[in-house]
Structure 1
Amino acid sequence: MFFNDYKNRDKFPRGRGGRGRFNHNRRGGGRGGGHDNKRNNKRSYSEVNNPKRPKYESSVRVKEVDIGISEYLGDHQHFDGIFKERFSDFHVHEIDCDGKMAKLTTQEIPPDPKDTVDVEKLRQTLPEDVLEKLDAFISKTDNAEEPSALVEIDVTDITKDQRRNIHSIASKYQKVNSQTIDKENRKLLVLSKVSGDKIDKNDATFKKKYGLERDVRVNWSLREGPYCKFILHKVNIDTMDALNQLAVNLRIRANNLNYSGTKDRRARTTQWVSVKQIHPSYILEAGKRVRGLFVGNFEFVKNPLKLGTLKGNHFEIALRNITASDEEIESAMTSLRDNGFVNYYGLQRFGSVATIPTYEIGKALLKGNYQEAIDLVLKPRDNDYPDLAKARECYAKTKDAKQALKLIQRPDKIEVKLLKGITINGPNSPQNALDSIPRNTLLMYIHSYQSFVWNNMVSRRIKELGRKPVVGDLVYVSDSVADKVEVEEEEKGIDENEESKKEPIDNGKDEKLENEKKPLPVVKILAEEDLANYTLADVVMPQPGYKVTYPTYAKDWYEEFMAKDGLSLDLQNKNRRFALGGAYRKIVQIPEGLSWRVVQYDDISCDLIRSDFDKMQDKEFKINNSEGKYKALVLEMSLKSSTYATMALREILKQDTSAETQAAQTAFYHALAKQEAKDLEESQKKEKLVDKSELTVEDSVKEDQVVEAEIEPTD
């Protein structure tokens, strides 16, 4: 079997680093150095937080069969295809509750609103000597021969309102910066001229004399709201990394950035972010300093974004190296459009290592085996980051949390929080140690177990009872209510369920009893006379919990399945953080707005989907060859936030979506392409040799004829 050793060609070009946080800081930012242009020995943010994993090797990975995924809805034939072979093959756009899609279309800074304050009235409040200096300075700002104008106005003896009026007058001029400082026991209001036409964060003249930073005074009351909402378009970087790095460059805490949900790392994704009272020019500049990040479409709103406030996501996906005929593709896509797909929880919800799936950690938490849960989180595993591998090995052998903690170089890992908790609370207080882990992560573990049970129950339901509603099935009484209540971790910003998670950005809300705070939607049990009014797409299955209703035929299934794990349906845990009321989830999802096209190409590294940034830049986009030897299927669809796009792809291809399967196919695909290129090269060499050989024979015949002519006797 082949495994993926193909080098990633999608690496984003590295850019110049920032100048450093302050003039005296020699560290610099990102790839660049400090003000002396020398790079020091300290490791950059990217190097510390994103060191490379070891090269992928064969190991025991989570597969669909391990988490209860087994059934399909369509009757079409299986065929091969590769998804996410390149990150540019997977595009995601958020859809808000009003149905609007997040798209990056412009990076223009919106014009500042006009202040309606009467300048003349403000001037009447100021002393004559202040007005003279103010007028003299303003006249210089329009003079091109005065590139750096600056004036000091002594405002020690005037009122605070008068000082504010000076700032208000100055703010009406695009090229004027105003700042109040203390100097030699006097209060000075310093006005400086800003170079260029745009607001600049760093006014060199002003900083050189006073060592201060540019202060853009913005009257937020003139805008639609105090929050700047913008589009974040990221390339091959996960949401937490993107927001953390953006926050570093904005010099704010990461939790000041609000978002509705996280997006995949290996993809091109577009989403909304909001932040309070930060000018768009600052955000644009900060975005330029983060590799793989683009921001734009700035607007001002009254309220911040909140987790879960999304209708869904729009996907544009390329499946490469399709082996099916056009007729087989048409059959598969028509089935998906009409029948949908089984709404399984995808592999990313359960981690990637089969020996330590996240649902096993959740199971231990629900059973109250807190030490077992800790050991599972810290258990050594294959293909880990080097520092984490050393720390896990150290803890496994010595149980010395303090020593293991020293081996981890990144502070944003769950393992760091847990090891600190063990160090503080001691080895005999595992429950207290677990409290150091962010609450959303603990919820993710126990919800993973609920999802594991749900997948298995749905597979049994379809396998034993078929693809139509049956007596005893559950349906929502009101779909409109169900859509609002059916909220999951993915909507709350938790869709990266790897076993080594980074610390999520805390939203400051206590979600430990979220199931008790929200009412469950009302469901009805289908009777014989109801069956004609529903399809399988209407049927729901419960996640286990103490508040849900079970299908009449399935309660025994749940009890039997969970009993093997030492659990019952009564999940009112003694530790109320882990009490589970349960939830409902539809068995089938039908994608909205599904469309598809078949693409032929020759270059295996060519892009098949045009990105938002390419469209915005009006970059030329051409597929290598419309009659190429490789075939790709490019599809578009919209799905609810709680739905996994990989499960829709699984239904199309009828193949396992695990990383191991995809890696094997990718390796085979590239090996085949490499062999074909080699065969073509050898064939061309042979053709040249043949041509040369034929030419030699012809020349030889001509030479023989000449010789014969020379020796032929004459009369």
Structure 2
Amino acid sequence: MKQGSQAANVPACFISNHEGFLGTIKNFIEDFVVTEIDIDGQRVKTAAQTPGCASSDGNNKTSADCQENSHSSGSRDTDVSLEWGVDVPLTSLGSFDLGVILGQSVSEELEHFVLTLRDKKPTELELSLGSFTDKHQRANVHRAVRHRFPFLMTVTIQPEIRVREDPDYRELSQLVKEDEAEDFFRFIDAKVRGSSYTFGPDDNKDHRTAVHHFLNRKFGKLVETKSFNEQGRTSISVRLRERGRPKKRTADERKEEEVYTAFTLCKENLETLEAISYMAAALGVLPSDFTYAGIKDKRAITYQSMVVKKVSPQRLKEKTAEFDRRGMRLSQVRSVSEPLRLGRLQGNHFDLVVRDLRPHGASDTHSSGTDVHSRLAALVKEAVENVKTRGFVNYYGPQRFGSGQSVQSDRVGLALLKEDMVSGVRLFFTPEEGDDPQSHAKRHFLQTDNAKESLALMPLSKARERLMLRALNRYGTGPDGCAQAWLSLPHSMRVFYPHAYCSRVWNEAVAHRLATMGHSVRQGDLVWRREGHGKTEDSGETSAAQIHVVTDEEEQGAVYTLEQVLLPMPGNTVKYPENAMGTWYEERLARDGLDDCRFRVSSLKLNLPGCYRPLLAVPHNLNYQLQRAAKAEVGGAMTGGRKQDSLALTLNFDLDSSCYATICLREIMKCDP
């Protein structure tokens, strides 16, 4: 087993002993092309080659592995029978980006307007958000602004939308806590059938009476209220009246809500969620109305299937030119009967180019170009054949941990698992080196603890940081305020950090397993059973029912191969190996203070069940080609007197879902590409 260079949280352990070579990837955006492979094993259909998205089959790994599908539906249309005080969670609009919906300048004006209102007495101040001719866009603006700022009311003077303080909110906030007033107004705005909202315990009967009177006076036609007693404490619960439900939808409205439109998205240098945020704003729907099988790389050209709800194929086609200008090309637009599910894919196909190939540790000052090229050709052939035959260690890639950041995401995740909310926030705001605006704002927060000033310094494009700072400004920077700050992030963002920690432990576990127990299957290892290969239909992980513990007889008979060995991602439903690796997991978690960890953080609504991940991954349909490259391909300039011609390696291969192309390249090259 060969050791090599090591990226953060990715141990330097390889499965083959070839020498490898040096090179660079992603010199150009078209050097990394990713095409999704659907559940039936077919690459998603793409349009003919057009400017902006190269017509090549390629797709990137998904980071859907072991993640929970936290997409919320837009509204509920089912009858729910509730007892008083049993609340139904409401849809989160946290992923709406007001900078996209309103434009950065108007969004910034709105921020300043809000700060002015919160610092002053009731006022008649108004702010114009601009004119919106499309009714779907107007609806989008109303919902997003009211959800973000429940104390505001939006008024349409067609086609202009104006915003001002809601006097009813100010009156309620004098009777109950401010966060309760905000949540109540979100509940009222959502009008979700079967939903209810419960205020905190209130043992003052006169005060409860005042709250009842206010709610009945202002919202009596819409809601009914009741005091109820639980464990000796009395609270007020509010639920929608039967006759206060939204008016009966027309046949056309019902038909529109049942529409599902599928399409292939080709995006370039965009994150998947960033692309969805923009499309949702342009179409006047929720980001959660978009479903997809997996997240794709940002620094790549990627092709993936998507489905959007409540948008007809015709209306989607009308927006394609606008999306094209933002680096998103839509094709294969068609009607379908249902949404996609996260993880419902077989994997991804990759078309990669590695440029400026050169041997490890060789200056080649005394070698001719022909000699160097011949040696590189031999190195590449040996490396590719080894990986074809033996695969690679199935590490989580550096992007799983927020590579390039001063504080890795796994350290934030550890703080959250230990329920140390304050440390988690401070780690989250650790700045990078340098004085870019984001780092300056983070540094200011850590030095002053002033969330309001830091929010004013934070770039509008940094949605996570701004959500956190806004909550810290509202709730304070103590433990409770920091918990509220984490809750201000959508669930998929919150769970990313504990998942990053568990991924780091898994990477360390597989390196320890190979270093101490070798490449043979040992008694107590966990494996897939041979029949059916053991994979679940919807993901690259395995279910507990298919896990088998290797016996001594099976070890002696070499019944299983290393490719079938699994290691668990820590969680509350997994079993651990029944050999030295089980002890290793126990000691490793204890070292981080997690010996009693339940892998649940109830205050943040996080639950990590864990999963099983194959120790090895094998690329399928792996092909390669070596070509001479011009100097312009090395950043467009000569470096260090290097010869003008160099070799470029083109690689084409498929990977199962949740596997990382960069880790496969790492095994081939024996370095971090």
Partner of residue 385, structure 2: 334
Q: Which secondary structure does the structure 1 equivalent of 2:664 belong to?
A: helix
Q: Which secondary structure does the structure 2 equivalent of 1:469 belong to?
A: coil
Alpha carbons of structure 1 residues 98 and 643: separation in structure 2 relative to 1, 3 Å: same
Deviations 1:539-579 (A, max 9, x none): 00112234322221112212222222122164354637344
Partner of residue 449, structure 2: 399
Q: What amino acid does structure 1 have at the position aligned with 2:656?
A: K
Q: Structure 1 residue 580: deviation in Å? A: 3.3
Deviations 1:98-126 (A, max 9, x none): 11211322599xxxxxxxxxxxxxxxxxx
Q: Which secondary structure does the structure 1 equivalent of 2:567 belong to?
A: strand
Partner of residue 70, structure 2: none
Partner of residue 265, structure 1: 298
Partner of residue 71, structure 1: 13
CA distance in 2, matches of 1:564, 1:360: 14
1:522 correspondence with 2:540: no
Q: Which secondary structure does the structure 2 equivalent of 1:81 belong to?
A: strand
Within the candidate set 579, 584, 590, 1:557 is matched to 584
Superposition map of 1:161-310 within 5 A: 226-289=259-322, 290-310=325-345
CA distance in 2, matches of 1:349, 1:298: 32
Within the candidate set 101, 106, 111, 2:43 is matched to 101
CA distance in 1, matches of 2:304, 2:669: 28
Partner of residue 365, structure 1: 416
Asked if the contact 1:486–1:583 (Cα under 8 Å) also holds between the matched residues in 2, the reply is no
Q: Structure 1 residue 272: deviation in Å? A: 1.3
Asked if the contact 2:355–2:633 (Cα under 8 Å) also holds between the matched residues in 1, the reply is no
Asked if the contact 2:415–2:421 (Cα under 8 Å) also holds between the matched residues in 1, the reply is yes
Q: Which secondary structure does the structure 2 equivalent of 1:322 belong to?
A: strand
CA distance in 2, matches of 1:399, 1:262: 34
Alpha carbons of structure 1 residues 394 and 596: separation in structure 2 relative to 1, 3 Å: same
1:587 correspondence with 2:600: no
Within the candidate set 291, 307, 312, 2:347 is matched to 312
Alpha carbons of structure 1 residues 421 and 651: separation in structure 2 relative to 1, 3 Å: same
Deviations 1:26-51 (A, max 9, x none): xxxxxxxxxxxxxxxxxxxxxxxxxx
Within the candidate set 594, 619, 630, 2:646 is matched to 630
Q: What amino acid does structure 2 have at the position aligned with 1:269?
A: T
Alpha carbons of structure 1 residues 364 and 356: separation in structure 2 relative to 1, 3 Å: same
Alpha carbons of structure 1 residues 569 and 485: separation in structure 2 relative to 1, 3 Å: farther
Q: Structure 1 residue 347: deviation in Å? A: 0.3
Alpha carbons of structure 1 residues 474 and 384: separation in structure 2 relative to 1, 3 Å: farther
Q: What amino acid does structure 2 have at the position aligned with 1:525?
A: V
Partner of residue 647, structure 1: 663
Pick which of 242-251 and 438-447 moved more: 242-251
Asked if the contact 2:291–2:339 (Cα under 8 Å) also holds between the matched residues in 1, the reply is yes
1:540 correspondence with 2:563: no
Within the candidate set 566, 573, 582, 2:593 is matched to 566
Partner of residue 212, structure 2: none
Deviations 1:8-39 (A, max 9, x none): xxxxxxxxxxxxxxxxxxxxxxxxxxxxxxxx
Q: What amino acid does structure 1 have at the position aligned with 2:495?
A: L
1:600 correspondence with 2:621: no
Asked if the contact 1:232–1:294 (Cα under 8 Å) also holds between the matched residues in 2, the reply is yes
Q: Structure 1 residue 81: deviation in Å? A: 1.5
Asked if the contact 1:107–1:297 (Cα under 8 Å) also holds between the matched residues in 2, the reply is no
Alpha carbons of structure 1 residues 277 and 363: separation in structure 2 relative to 1, 3 Å: closer
Deviations 1:491-537 (A, max 9, x none): 9xxxxxxxxxxxxxxxxxxxxxxxxxx96343222123324222111
Q: Structure 1 residue 443: deviation in Å? A: 1.1
Within the candidate set 510, 520, 529, 1:477 is matched to 529
Partner of residue 421, structure 1: 471
Alpha carbons of structure 1 residues 68 and 83: separation in structure 2 relative to 1, 3 Å: closer
**Which protein has the larger Cα radius of gyration, Structure 1 or Structure 2?**
1
Pick which of 532-541 and 568-577 moved more: 568-577
Residue identity (%): 31
Pick which of 401-410 and 293-302 moved more: 401-410
Q: Structure 1 residue 592: deviation in Å? A: 1.4
1:455 correspondence with 2:507: yes
Deviations 1:383-439 (A, max 9, x none): 5751x2232122112111122112224266211111122222222312233211221
1:464 correspondence with 2:512: no
- Runs of 5+ in structure 1 lacking a partner? 1-62, 109-209, 212-217, 492-517, 608-626, 658-715
Alpha carbons of structure 1 residues 369 and 294: separation in structure 2 relative to 1, 3 Å: same
Q: What amino acid does structure 1 have at the position aligned with 2:466?
A: V
- Runs of 5+ in structure 2 lacking a partner? 51-157, 160-250, 359-374, 636-642
CA distance in 2, matches of 1:292, 1:405: 29
TM-score by length of 1: 0.57
Asked if the contact 2:10–2:397 (Cα under 8 Å) also holds between the matched residues in 1, the reply is no
Alpha carbons of structure 1 residues 348 and 254: separation in structure 2 relative to 1, 3 Å: same
CA distance in 1, matches of 2:315, 2:404: 41
Q: Structure 1 residue 629: deviation in Å? A: 2.5
Q: What amino acid does structure 1 have at the position aligned with 2:444?
A: C
Partner of residue 236, structure 2: none
Asked if the contact 1:95–1:310 (Cα under 8 Å) also holds between the matched residues in 2, the reply is yes
1:442 correspondence with 2:466: no
Asked if the contact 1:481–1:521 (Cα under 8 Å) also holds between the matched residues in 2, the reply is no
Superposition map of 1:611-626 within 5 A: none
Alpha carbons of structure 1 residues 409 and 316: separation in structure 2 relative to 1, 3 Å: same
Q: Which secondary structure does the structure 1 equivalent of 2:319 belong to?
A: helix
CA distance in 2, matches of 1:252, 1:354: 33
CA distance in 1, matches of 2:28, 2:672: 18
Q: Structure 1 residue 254: deviation in Å? A: 3.0
Deviations 1:459-488 (A, max 9, x none): 011112222222221102367584227848
TM-score by length of 2: 0.60
Alpha carbons of structure 1 residues 423 and 221: separation in structure 2 relative to 1, 3 Å: closer
Question: Which of the pair is proportionally richer in strand?
Answer: 2
